[in-house]
Amino acid sequence: MKREIPKAARFLLIYLADSSSNYDAKKVHLDNLYRMVAYCENAIDCRRAQQLQYFGESFNSQLCKQNARAVCDNCSSKVRSELLAEIERVQLVPGIICATNSSALSAAV
């Protein structure tokens, strides 16, 4: 099976193979490629926070979560997982109440 190389990566490989560019230029481009791959593969940190960090700024990721219409994919998945955890927690409450009521009934009888 032949593995396809994305077009952008192909251009970068051609550029890196170019003997006319110097070592420092190649290193900068390769570092940028690794940074971009890390950004794409990061499924945890807020996208806005990552982008602004690149430009030397800080961003509170809580602000990203507050706007449901513009939340980034990573914060959205965190919000979703927090919501699911809350639903699971709430679903446990009726079981606890039933168990408590059963114990109270058993003690009363």
How far is Cα 55 from Cα 29, in angstroms, rounded to an integer?
17
> Which lies closer to Zn ion via its Cβ, residue 12 or residue 72?
72
State in angstroms the smallest separation of the CB of 75 from Zn ion: 3
Using CB under 5 A as the criterion, which residues of the chain lie in contact with Zn ion when the complex forms? 46, 64, 72, 75
Tell me how far apart the alpha carbons of residues 99 and 31 are, in angstroms, rounded to a whole number. Answer: 58
Which CB atom, from 70 or from 87, has the smaller least distance to Zn ion? 70
Tell me the two tokens of residue 43.
Answer: 């499924």
CA 32, 34, 36, 37: dihedral to nearest 10 degrees? 160
Shortest distance, CB of residue 90 to Zn ion, whole angstroms?
25
Among residues 51 and 103, whose Cβ is nearest to Zn ion? 51
Structure tokens at 76: 């959205």
Q: How far is the CB of 76 from Zn ion (least distance, A)?
A: 8
